[in-house]
Structure 1
């Protein structure tokens, strides 16, 4: 079932609510530059196990409204708070992929873990997506600037290149086109402005706010958010569990979907 939830005047987020209404809720936050549809292969299976899967299109993406403003992690996490409160969700597993993982971390700090029982970070773009002093991992700011420029000049080509980075294991040409089409449902300016947030926002101070059980899911071959991101998060988040996918890249929830779905379910059940 799909519907929109107003998060502020003139801005509504598209939400898909899949599975039993009384099931344990998993709220999925997609990464850059996609939308909730990227978790199709979780929605296919996890409701069979009794989970209520809730997919959200972030503002500017998918079927959500596309304002000119509001693409900071603070605003994006505030939007998630409105979705949780509007749906009356409790005991939530908050699952964020890539930039969505960064937004989930900001949510935990900014909203004091409001109604979140456990956190799942899937190849999260954290604690920093870009390199900095004493942090040699991720992209340089200049490399992200190039992505932003490509967004403004040839977004379909950018998405095609990004698809090749996203999946370590072979994908079919139709699947790659499906991935590109998902990205093209976003506004170009939304894609650019969230890339600015990826480039500039840091989450080091947010990590101490996380006190709920946390699962860190990361592919060793990740070319977008290097595996070192997951290692650092595991070291810095108290009593976190680390799920490593030896042969997967950034799209681990697709390329290792059976193992990932099993691991996510196991993590929820044990915590």
Structure 2
């Protein structure tokens, strides 16, 4: 299914089940298919599950503009308005978590009952004088240079780290290939622009203004979004937020720790 967002871009979404809505926002470079292990779980328990292919990803159109977090937030708002969703549980993974946070800052909490930041790249990644926990700009530039030089190789190397396979997680070569095919299907232009925008965006002030129930889920061995830079700092900023740390999880915990994640999200939604 498709809808048009604020600038006329046609975006794809999927809508399953009936009941209280849960909107899943995918990770950078991935699309709706990444939630394969969450959507059936929640629809079978009486929830309506909606997920969005952001612009430049999946089945959505690939314009040359709109790869900043304000545009991402406005695209989410357009989807919620299109379906007139209310009492929503908003779940965002990685960059999807940053987009969910930006949605709350720009569009408020009227339609949102609760938010879950899963492996989210929050609150602020860039090293600055007032953000000594951040990462140097050189880290961004090194990744972008590798990305521009050999994008398939860059994603191939990241896949092992993504799933923390060195810890013995049962992730098959076929599953890793499935992840890589999703990443490679996204627009190179879109993924690069969004990567840069996410690295440079400061969410610290807006996170302090969140007043709805907030769950932060993060892997303690997440190499893509180190927990000391992201999850542990996020939970200190959001009033009343709860942190669930998975000691052996990397960034791709929606696969490696699917049962634990689903159970924690279900408990959060029911509460």
Render the CA deviation track for 1:37-90: whole Å, top value 9, x for unaligned: 111110131111111111101111111111101111111100100000001100
Structure 2 residue 25 is the aligned partner of structure 1 residue 25: no
Task: Report the secondary structure of 1:8's partner residue.
Answer: coil
Q: Is the 8 A contact 2:91 2:116 kept in 1?
A: yes
Q: Is the 8 A contact 1:108 1:209 kept in 2?
A: no
Q: Is the 8 A contact 1:101 1:126 kept in 2?
A: yes
Structure 2 residue 246 is the aligned partner of structure 1 residue 265: no
Counterpart for residue 10 of structure 2: 12
Counterpart for residue 115 of structure 1: 111
For residues 231 and 32 of structure 1, the distance between their equivalents in structure 2, rounded to whole angstroms, comes to: 21
Counterpart for residue 69 of structure 1: 65
Q: How does 1:99-138 map to 2 (within 5 A)?
A: 99-137=95-133
Q: Is the 8 A contact 1:122 1:216 kept in 2?
A: yes
Counterpart for residue 182 of structure 1: 182
For residues 138 and 222 of structure 1, the distance between their equivalents in structure 2, rounded to whole angstroms, comes to: 15
Q: Which stretch has the larger CA shift, 75-84 or 27-36?
A: 27-36
For residues 219 and 134 of structure 1, the distance between their equivalents in structure 2, rounded to whole angstroms, comes to: 25
For residues 135 and 193 of structure 2, the distance between their equivalents in structure 1, rounded to whole angstroms, comes to: 17
Provide TM-score, normalisation by structure 2: 0.94
Q: How does 1:34-113 map to 2 (within 5 A)?
A: 34-113=30-109
- Deviation at residue 227 of structure 1 after TM alignment: 1.3
For residues 180 and 231 of structure 1, the distance between their equivalents in structure 2, rounded to whole angstroms, comes to: 28
- Deviation at residue 201 of structure 1 after TM alignment: 1.1
Structure 2 residue 144 is the aligned partner of structure 1 residue 143: no
Q: Is the 8 A contact 1:138 1:225 kept in 2?
A: no
**Alignment RMSD, CA only?**
1.4
Give aligned pairs, total. 266
Task: Report the secondary structure of 1:49's partner residue.
Answer: coil
Counterpart for residue 222 of structure 2: 222
For residues 233 and 14 of structure 1, the distance between their equivalents in structure 2, rounded to whole angstroms, comes to: 30
Instruction: Say if 1:137 and 1:41 are closer, same or farther in 2 by CA, change over 3 A.
Output: farther
Render the CA deviation track for 1:204-242: whole Å, top value 9, x for unaligned: 111122100001111111111111221111111111111
Task: Report the secondary structure of 2:243's partner residue.
Answer: strand
Instruction: Say if 1:136 and 1:165 are closer, same or farther in 2 by CA, change over 3 A.
Output: farther
Could you tell me which runs of 5 or more consecutive residues in structure 2 were left unpaired when the two chains were aligned.
Answer: none
Runs of 4+ in 1 over 4 A off after TM superposition: none
For residues 212 and 5 of structure 1, the distance between their equivalents in structure 2, rounded to whole angstroms, comes to: 28
Task: Report the secondary structure of 1:206's partner residue.
Answer: helix
Structure 2 residue 190 is the aligned partner of structure 1 residue 194: no
